[in-house]
Amino acid sequence: MSPDARWLAQLEDRARAVLPAPVLDYVLQAAGDGITASEATQAWRRVRLLPHVMRDVTELDLGVSLLGQHVDVPWGVAPTTWQAGVHPDGELATARATAAVGGLMVVSSNAGTPFDRIAGTGVDWWLQVYLPADRTLAEPMLARAVAAGATAVVLTVDTPVVPVPSQPADTPDLPEPGALRINFDDGYDAEPGADKATDLGPHDLDWLAERTGLPVVVKGVLRPDDARRCVDAGARAVWVSNHGGRQLDRTVATVDALPAVVAEVGGEAEVYVDGGVRSGLDVVAATAAGAAAVFLGRSPLLALVDGEAGVARLHRALTEQVSEALRLTGCRTIADTRGILAAEPAHRV
């Protein structure tokens, strides 16, 4: 194992030793009994590959095209809040390290750093939004993201309510108010109607596209029929996610939900996946199962313990592992991985 791969495998142990308990609890938090969160990492290990041999794998290309935009690696940083709780440089460190690898960062609408400062790092970035009950309250934040150069908007739809966590701590300390939602107008949280919307529907995709002029991605889809409704309503991509097991416990693992969603809408829209992705081989398993891109939530946060250098090391370790996996499966590109899934019924695409 290379030093970077060993470091990656020990990411959580290292963060446990370094992070203050409330921050660690927040990052690792899982809904309910933590069943979905703990299954997520194991689920990728069930994927079986059928590698090619005798192919020229001297030169590799890890790049992918997402919504018409070239990114140099097939994994991106999923939206996560409270990055400044992990390291004082917060989103800026994540953005700088991700820009350096030519990767994509999805920035939470709850971020603690102004969008224009994140954009100033040169990172390619998309905005993730939670829409409030009163949609108009989100408009200033959306305008700031567009002005700062977000190139897509990701609507998270699996969060009509935030469940009370039971694992690992019952009441993790909340971030300081100033560390969240800095891109909203002052006083946003006290406004009537600032609660998360419980009536999201296909019409919201139109509304977001109109307000931002950006392609809309729907994050938090697990069922092919919902994916179909999203694509019919104009979604340019569907993001298969169970929120890292932080929302509804006992949801299906995303690796098991992915094939049916790809089969339903993969011909018309891009399909992304996240949840429990911890290694380069997990990334390749996901692209082999039909994902156009793979996102990581907790891993970049745990790497952020070491600031920009930590997130850079995460990207380096993943680059090394994905490159190795491509060569060992006889694939030169990410598109080549589509054919390497063993035809087990649960993973056939």
Ligand X SMILES: Cc1cc2nc3c(=O)[nH]c(=O)nc-3n(C[C@H](O)[C@H](O)[C@H](O)COP(=O)(O)O)c2cc1C
Among positions 26, 44, 115, 125, the unique one binding ligand X when judged by CB under 6 A? 26
Piece of the chain touching ligand X by CB under 6 A; list 15-23, 203-211, 274-282, 284-292: 274-282
Q: How many residues bind ligand X (CB under 6 A)?
A: 24
In degrees, rounded to 5, the angle at the alpha carbon of residue 338 between the alpha carbons of residues 150 and 6 is: 75
Piece of the chain touching ligand X by CB under 6 A; list 3-11, 174-182, 194-202, 268-276: 268-276
Helix (H) or strand (E) holding 6: helix 3-9
Per-residue b/e over 10-41, b at no fewer than 16 CB within 10 Å? ebbeebeeebeeebbbbbbbbbbebebbebbb
Nearby residues of 105 by Cβ (< 8 Å), 6 or more positions away: 76, 77, 94, 95, 98, 99, 118, 123, 124, 125, 126
In angstroms, what is the minimal distance from the CB of 296 to ligand X? 5
Q: Can residue 108 be called a binding residue for ligand X (CB under 6 A)?
A: yes
Among positions 84, 258, 296, 318, the unique one binding ligand X when judged by CB under 6 A? 296
Q: Which of 52, 70, 87, 243 does the annotation list as catalytic?
A: 243
Reply yes or no on whether 315 is catalytic: no
Q: CA nearest 129: which of 183, 90, 185, 168?
A: 183
Dihedral angle over CA of 38, 40, 43, 47, nearest 10: -150
In angstroms, what is the minimal distance from the CB of 253 to ligand X? 11
Helix (H) or strand (E) holding 167: none
Q: What gap in Å lies between CA 28 and CA 237, rounded to an integer?
A: 27
User: Smaller CB distance to ligand X: residue 244 or 330?
Assistant: 244
Among positions 76, 132, 280, 297, the unique one binding ligand X when judged by CB under 6 A? 297
Per CB under 6 A, which of residues 190..249 are in contact with ligand X? 219, 241, 243-244, 246
How far apart are the two ends of the chain, measured CA to CA in Å? 32
Q: Can residue 329 be called a binding residue for ligand X (CB under 6 A)?
A: no
Among positions 30, 31, 80, 312, the unique one binding ligand X when judged by CB under 6 A? 80
Strand partners for 66: 69
In angstroms, what is the minimal distance from the CB of 242 to ligand X? 8
User: Smaller CB distance to ligand X: residue 47 or 78?
Assistant: 78
Among positions 15, 40, 66, 294, the unique one binding ligand X when judged by CB under 6 A? 40
Among positions 229, 298, 315, 316, the unique one binding ligand X when judged by CB under 6 A? 298
Piece of the chain touching ligand X by CB under 6 A; list 42-50, 162-170, 179-187, 270-278: 270-278
Name the 3-class secondary structure at 279.
coil
Peptide bond into 168 cis (omega under 30): yes
Nearby residues of 296 by Cβ (< 8 Å), 6 or more positions away: 75, 76, 77, 78, 274, 277, 278, 314
- The residue whose Cβ lies closest to ligand X is 297
User: Smaller CB distance to ligand X: residue 128 or 329?
Assistant: 128
Q: Is 324 within 8 Å of 283 (Cβ atoms)?
A: no
Q: Identify the DSSP state of 208.
A: H
In angstroms, what is the minimal distance from the CB of 281 to ligand X? 15
Q: CA nearest 74: which of 282, 303, 307, 330?
A: 282
Q: Can residue 39 be called a binding residue for ligand X (CB under 6 A)?
A: no
Piece of the chain touching ligand X by CB under 6 A; list 75-83, 94-102, 175-183, 335-343: 75-83
Q: What gap in Å lies between CA 199 and CA 205, rounded to an integer?
A: 13
User: Smaller CB distance to ligand X: residue 105 or 331?
Assistant: 105
User: Smaller CB distance to ligand X: residue 49 or 301?
Assistant: 301
Q: Can residue 78 be called a binding residue for ligand X (CB under 6 A)?
A: yes
Name the amino acid, one letter, at 17.
Answer: A
By annotation, the residues acting in catalysis are: 243
* Binding residues for ligand X (CB under 6 A): 26-27, 40, 78-81, 108, 110, 128, 156, 219, 241, 243-244, 246, 274-277, 296-298, 301
